[in-house]
Chain A
Amino acid sequence: GQNIDQPTEMTATEGAIVQINCTYQTSGFNGLFWYQQHAGEAPTFLSYNVLDGLEEKGRFSSFLSRSKGYSYLLLKELQMKDSASYLCAVRNTGGFKTIFGAGTRLFVKA
């Protein structure tokens, strides 16, 4: 079967660093995406990994290990506006289908 697992909720403190993990088992792999979704809004793109390793983009970094079926999103210097859900998504081979995890709701406290 196909499955993506993420923690349901996490809490972190403003200014800190948080790591959100994602493990996946999918039939084929054509890249992994992280999206941010604020309550009541549409998901917006954060990062993309297709090769193993770390991709850095400002305060956000994403890591991929294809052999382990594992990715994480690292958020540095947390701000209150980072309180949102973070969605891990895998595109299958060919790229036509995308499977999303249920999302991790991150609460940033002062």
Chain B
Amino acid sequence: EAQVTQNPRYLITVTGKKLTVTCSQNMNHEYMSWYRQDPGLGLRQIYYSMNVEVTDKGDVPEGYKVSRKEKRNFPLILESPSPNQTSLYFCASSLGTGGQPQHFGDGTRLSIL
């Protein structure tokens, strides 16, 4: 089954404790992206990747890092999480950057205390 898999689905942690949210897709998609979704603000793009070893900042990249060492994986790293990063995070992938829609993972709800 074609899918985007995120882990963990839920995480409660404390300020300053490094964490990684993994994202993997099995559709051989070139494009992958991370979003955060907050009430009233909608989805905001954090980082995106056009292909292996090619990444760039979205609209809200501060406090986040990403890597794309393999085509299928696109982890999101919070080196020193802070409470303002408490949010619902979605990973997405698409075959390309034209009319191809993005396929979203089920989301990761992060709470930083």
Contacts and interface: CB of A to CB of B under 8 A. Distances in A.
Interface of A: 4, 30-31, 33, 35, 41-45, 48, 50, 87, 89, 91, 94-103
A31 B101 CA distance: 10
A44 to B, nearest CB: 7
Contact of B59 (A48, A89, A97): A97
A99 B59 contact: yes
A42 B33 contact: no
A4 B45 CA distance: 14
B42 A43 contact: no
Contact of B41 (A42, A48, A91, A102): A102
Nearest to A91: B97
Contacts of A31: 98-99
Interface residues of B, number: 26
Contacts of B90: 42-43
B45 A98 contact: yes
Contacts of A102: 40-42
Contact of A96 (B40, B56, B101): B56
B42 A48 contact: no
B42 A30 contact: no
7 contacts: A30-B98, A35-B101, A43-B43, A48-B99, A50-B99, A96-B31, A100-B44
Which of B35, B41, B42, B107: most chain A Cβ within 10 A?
B42
B101 A97 contact: no
Contacts of A89: 43
B8 to A, nearest CB: 15
A68 B91 CA distance: 31
